[in-house]
């Protein structure tokens, strides 16, 4: 059955959409978003046993690090671990800026 579409083109409504055979591999069945979510979950599992008193390791943090490292889970994990070491050593959450104390929002744009 042919139907005229609003812009004047004809389309075949009876034609079945051909879908690729997804039974060969479970990886093939996952679209890009599912793969990214799986990568986030895998990295979270790797990091969940780490001590994180300031709750730095969140799903959003993991997502940012993975995006920065083009979804390479090993590179992102290494960078997160180095960041945790740096944060433990330097304790930025304890820093106090004298200008921010005198004028709240001093560094805000």
Q: How confident is the prediction along the chain (109 residues), in pLDDT tens digits per residue?
A: 444 444 444 444 444 445 555 555 555 556 888 899 999 999 999 998 988 878 899 999 999 999 999 999 999 999 999 999 999 998 888 888 888 888 888 877 6
- CA gyration radius, the chain: 24
Q: What dihedral angle (degrees, nearest 10) is formed by the CA atoms of 31, 32, 37, 40?
A: 140
Sign of the C-alpha dihedral, residues 76, 78, 82, 84? Answer: positive
Look up the pTM and report it. Answer: 0.63
Residue whose entry in the numeric block shows the structure tokens 């590179």? 75
């Amino acid at each position: 059955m042919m139907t005229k579409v609003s812009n004047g083109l004809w389309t075949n409504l009876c034609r079945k959409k051909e879908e690729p055979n997804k039974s060969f591999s479970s990886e093939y069945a996952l679209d890009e978003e599912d793969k990214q979510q799986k990568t986030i979950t895998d990295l979270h599992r790797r990091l969940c046993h780490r001590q994180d008193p300031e709750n730095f390791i969140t799903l959003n943090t993991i997502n940012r690090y993975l995006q920065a490292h083009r979804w390479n889970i090993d590179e992102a994990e290494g960078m997160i671990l180095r960041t945790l070491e740096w944060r433990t050593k330097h304790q930025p959450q304890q820093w106090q800026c004298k200008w921010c104390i005198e004028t709240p929002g001093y560094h805000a744009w």
